[in-house]
Amino acid sequence: MIHPTAIIDPSAVLDSSVEVGPYAIIGKQVRVGTGTTIGAHAIIGDWTSIGENNRIFPQSSVGAPPQDLKYKGEECWTRIGSGNMVREFATIHRGTVTGNGETVVGNGNLFMAYSHVAHDCIIGNNVVMANVATLAGHVTVEDNVILGGLVAVHQFSTIGTHAMIGGGTMVGLDVLPYCIATNGKRDAKLRGLNLIGLKRRGFSDEAVSNLKKAYKALFMANLKTEEAIARIKAEINGCAEVDYLLGFIERSRRGFCRG
């Protein structure tokens, strides 16, 4: 059902099952998949692709132009997967030609009220951004991450899979997978592994034990990072989670938060 007060650009393509509430605005070249609902007064900006069974709540904004002074109206996209929930006043901006040309959101994510995803961000699957959590441009958030309320993440940072960031934390560096980070004196500080989260998500006892050994080598053994990595590789073999952790460290360009 499309409310008669909604404004929809003629170039937009909506599945017949899509619901659009009163006074919603849908821009040009928008595509919306099966079962998605768009609430009252929501705005879907130009060049936005939205998958199936998403819930876009009233007053939210998806696909608006980026807050980047270099952006001059070029065709850039916002691509939203399926099963996402975008709550009231949350904002997700499209990409830029000086970035990826698109902002990408995966599946099953929850963007609580007033959260913000800036241009050229990449969001994985099953991510939770609590109220007023904010991503600057070019941020990558991997799968199963939880960002507490009022978290702010610096440009070009990466938040590793299964990480949890405590409310009010200012993040200026990458955050390692499987870890918890909260505010430190200068930047976010690791507080250990996200043990409760890992248990809830079914990680094996062996995997958790290996991650504990790796964490101790990295932050509690008075070793340089290169030395810690060498020790971990020598002592822990065949653990996919530890391998991913080490690969994340080796790929990091900004540097990563420490304990």
The catalytic residues are 119-120, 137
Cα 160 to Cα 68, 118, 123, 177, 249: the distances in Å are: 26, 18, 11, 4, 10
- Residue 248 and residue 177 in contact, taking contact as beta carbons nearer than 8 Å: yes
- In 81-121, the DSSP E strands lie at 85-86, 91-93, 102-105, 110-111, 116-117
Q: Residue 150: left (phi > 0), alpha (psi -120 to 50), or beta?
A: left
Q: Which two tokens stand for residue 240?
A: 């996919």
Distance of CA 65 to the CA centre of its chain: 19
**Contacts by residues 212-219 (CB-CB < 8 Å, ≥ 24 positions apart):** 214/242, 214/245, 214/246, 215/179, 215/259, 218/249, 219/190, 219/258, 219/259
